[in-house]
Structure 1
Amino acid sequence: MTAYPKTAALMARGAEFLGTERAVLCGAMSWVSERNLVAAISNAGGFGVIACGAMTPELLDTEITATAALTSKPFGVNLITMHPRLFDLIEVCSRHKVGHVVLAGGIPPKGAVEAIKAFGAKVIVFAPTLALAKKLFRSGADALVIEGSEAGGHIGPVSTSVLAQEFLPALAAEHVVFVAGGIGRGEMIASYLEMGASGVQLGTRFACASESIAHPAFKAAFFRANARDAVASVQIDPRLPVIPVRALRNKGSDEFIAKQIEVARRLDEGVVDMGEAQLEIEHFWAGALRRAVIEGDVENGSLMAGQSVGMVTREEPVSTIMAELMDECEGALAGR
């Protein structure tokens, strides 16, 4: 970071916490954040994070081993709190001496944070409200990611800029806080660092890197898209809950709206009961992310992307993306 003295100074606490040169995490993207991209992020001075998702403990064990063979730099593991075998996955991380575990997808269940800290790892959490963030820190969390609705994948209702204004003044002086959601350029990184963030997390910007195993058709869809194409999923009927997900609009997302209308009608007519109706909605997207990322079905798969997708215009090595972000950030800080 000697080429970026101002950026290095503002990222110092985050970089020390992660054990990296740059306090830039790559958001854990299922099917995308695997050994190749994770290792490339870490080798470029950032912090790669394996997206465990629905992996079994055996698969996670294999993925961590494979990632460690590609990089000697620090990387983390993202675990979904509602995974039925969460504590088995934590045990896998313990055996590999993983240094940082990210708990995502909800409030960590009782004993999860303690189980991770027991083998010396740092715990990174997400929180949609300031009150919950403070509670998680009191419960032992070591760092927080605040992620706004501009992000890709599962999202909350509040924008990154609003969350940053609420969380950073209250927490940044005493805690390590990373900002995520809609970040595509270094100038924005500079702004959040100046507000007190210890670092940032980006996902969409790295999804189409040369090292990403995403299908060429998936990457091409990103290159064609602009910010307004990355839309949040719509809930048609309050009886049929839909967890908000931001993805590129395609045939599948349009059909999902039609599906909700159809199921609501059948529910009104008594053809299906509430449980059956809700299950039908829940199963609509089953396997959809894999279909898009791995198989290249960009019409029917889920093209999860943040609103920064308009800044993803070509395939580049991770090292090039990282250098560009740092150049932009340092230039912005130097020009203040």
Structure 2
Amino acid sequence: MNDTSIDRSGSARLARRMERGAAFLGSEVAIMAGAMSWVSERNLVAAMSNAGGFGVIACGAMTVELLDAEIAATKALTDKPFGVNLITMHPDLMALIEVCGKHQVGHVVLAGGLPPKGSLEAIKASGAKVICFAPTLALAKKLIRSGVDALVIEGMEAGGHIGPVSTSVLAQEILPAIANDVPVFIAGGIGRGEAIAGYLDMGAAGVQLGTRFVCATESIAHPKFKQAFIRASARDAVASVQIDPRLPVIPVRALKNAGGELFTAKQREVAQSLDEGAVAMAEAQLAIEHYWAGALRRAVIDGDVEHGSVMAGQSVGMVTKEEPIADILATLMAEAAQALEARAA
């Protein structure tokens, strides 16, 4: 068999395995770009969707007005489908959902915990599909019963906020039980197409990658932020430590720097406020979220990679250069196709 026939055969297998996920997203390939605050804005999102993948705006701590403007600006750059990631603890969540509906956003991704009462119904009423994160099988089943349209299963290898279990374990535990019920996208630590092929073989409808796209040419991340990624190895991406059990802090994976020590100090400060009764638990957790948003902005936008938060997944060691997002997608798809062909042979 010559190389051309191998390419065609592997690509055909890959297309079949991605068919369900791509149809759900409305994209050419079932690869989502994970929502990364300050990074996943109009330029990266539009470039991802224009290249055949599925871009997702990271709303993060945006105000209603800012999200409104960001969606409009993204629509001016692409006529392809894209999604919006909303944080469930955002105080204006319902207003943000309304903005997504106004712009007829086709997919809303809810992150950061169980969807508050009425949020799923509000999203579905606008005609959009709802995607949620499921860190356990029990929660995955509960979300499916509540009417979500798809799930993202993200392991601890991911960048940003993480859970305690690895991607490979979650995929083995959850995919056999629910992959037939809703499309499931696997995320966390994916940097090459061979891994994508493996999860598709296990029943995933597609994958979500974030770290791999940070150094895309179209990414507005500061050159110093991108250089930090290119220089880093997997072991440089470490999880933050919780210092006070009364203040449950979702760990964040980022590159080791002085910013990690600053976060420890921030936790002590917030814990003391709790001790003194100056803030309620919900306010304390929101204070931590605002801290991360500010620290991330310092690194991504201002280029302060020493004191800011350089959120990165453990796949960062596979990011070796700055290149167009279309080239990154093409490489991932070629690697996945070759892997599927080799397995078939």
TM-score (norm 1): 0.93
CA contact (8 A) 1:187 1:328 kept: yes
- The amino acid of 2:276's aligned partner reads D
2:91 corresponds to: 84
1:273 aligned residue: 276
C-alpha contact 1:11 1:193 (8 A) present in aligned 2: yes
Among residues 143, 155, 161, which one is paired with 2:150 in the alignment?
143
Secondary structure in 2 matching 1:287: helix
Aligned equivalents of 2:186, 2:176: Cα separation in 1: 13
Structure 2 equivalent of residue 182 of structure 1 = 189
* Secondary structure in structure 1 of the residue aligned to 2:316: helix
Give the counterpart of 2:236 among 188, 209, 229: 229
> For the Cα contact (< 8 Å) 2:158–2:314, is it kept in 1?
yes
Q: Distance in 2 between matches of 1:263 and 1:75?
A: 36
Name the structure 2 match of 1:292: 299
Tell me the C-alpha RMSD between the 2 structures: 2.3
Aligned to 2:3: none
Structure 2 residue matching 1:4: 3-state secondary structure: helix
Separation in 1, partners of 2:316, 2:234: 6
User: Is the 2:257–2:307 Cα contact (8 Å) retained in structure 1?
Assistant: yes
Report the CA distance between 1:163 and its aligned residue: 0.3
Give the Cα separation in 1 of the matches to 2:277 and 2:198.
Answer: 47
1: distance between equivalents of 2:36 and 2:50? 18
- Where in structure 2 are the equivalents of 1:58-73 lying within 5 Å? 58-73=65-80
Q: Which one of the candidate residues 243, 252, 258 is aligned to 1:251? A: 258
Residues 248-299 of structure 1 show CA distances to partners (whole Å, capped at 9, x for unaligned) of: 01011134346667988xx6xx9x6365798598375461000000000001
**Residue in 1 aligned with 2:45?**
38
Picking from 303, 311, 321, the partner of 1:314 is: 321
TM-score of the superposed pair, with normalisation by structure 2 = 0.91
**Structure 2 equivalent of residue 333 of structure 1:** 340
- CA 1:184/1:95 → structure 2, altered by over 3 Å: closer, same or farther? same
Q: Deviations over 1:174-213 (max 9, x none)?
A: 2210000000000000000000000000000001110000
Name the aligned partner's letter for residue 130 of structure 1. L
Residue 108 of structure 2 aligns to a residue whose secondary structure is strand
Q: Write the deviation string for residues 46-101 of structure 1: whole angstroms up to 9, x where unpaired.
A: 00000111111111111111111111111011111111111111111111111111
SS at match of 1:335: helix
3-state SS in 1 of match to 2:326: helix
Percent identical: 73
Tell me if the contact between 1:180 and 1:200 (Cα under 8 Å) persists in the aligned partners: yes
What is the Cα deviation at residue 132 of structure 1? Answer: 1.1
* Structure 1 residues 241 and 189, CA gap change in structure 2 (3 angstroms): same
Q: Which runs of 5+ in 2 are unaligned?
A: 1-6
The question of 1:153 aligning with 2:153 is answered no
C-alpha separation between the residues in 1 aligned to 2:329 and 2:292? 33
Query: Following the alignment from structure 1 to structure 2, what is the Cα–Cα distance between the partners of residues 46 and 260?
Result: 38
Say if 2:12 is the partner of 1:9: no
Aligned to 2:116: 109
**Aligned position for 1:218:** 225
Alignment partner of 2:13: what SS? helix
CA distance in 2, matches of 1:178, 1:150: 15
Provide closer, same or farther for how the CA distance between residues 196 and 285 of structure 1 changes in structure 2, counting only shifts above 3 A: closer
Distance 1:50 1:7 in 2: 26
* Aligned 8 A contact 1:233 1:242 in 2: no
Query: Contact (CA 8 Å) 2:211, 2:313: kept in 1 or not?
Result: yes
Aligned AA (1:318) = I
Q: Which residue of 1 aligns with 2:32?
A: 25
How many equivalent pairs are there?
332
When residues 235 and 10 of structure 1 are mapped into structure 2, their CA distance, relative to the original with a 3 A threshold, is same
Residue 198 of structure 1 pairs with residue 228 of structure 2? no
Contact 2:61 2:90 in 1 (8 A): yes
Q: Which amino acid aligns with 1:306?
A: G
User: What is the aligned partner in structure 2 of residue 208 from structure 1?
Assistant: 215
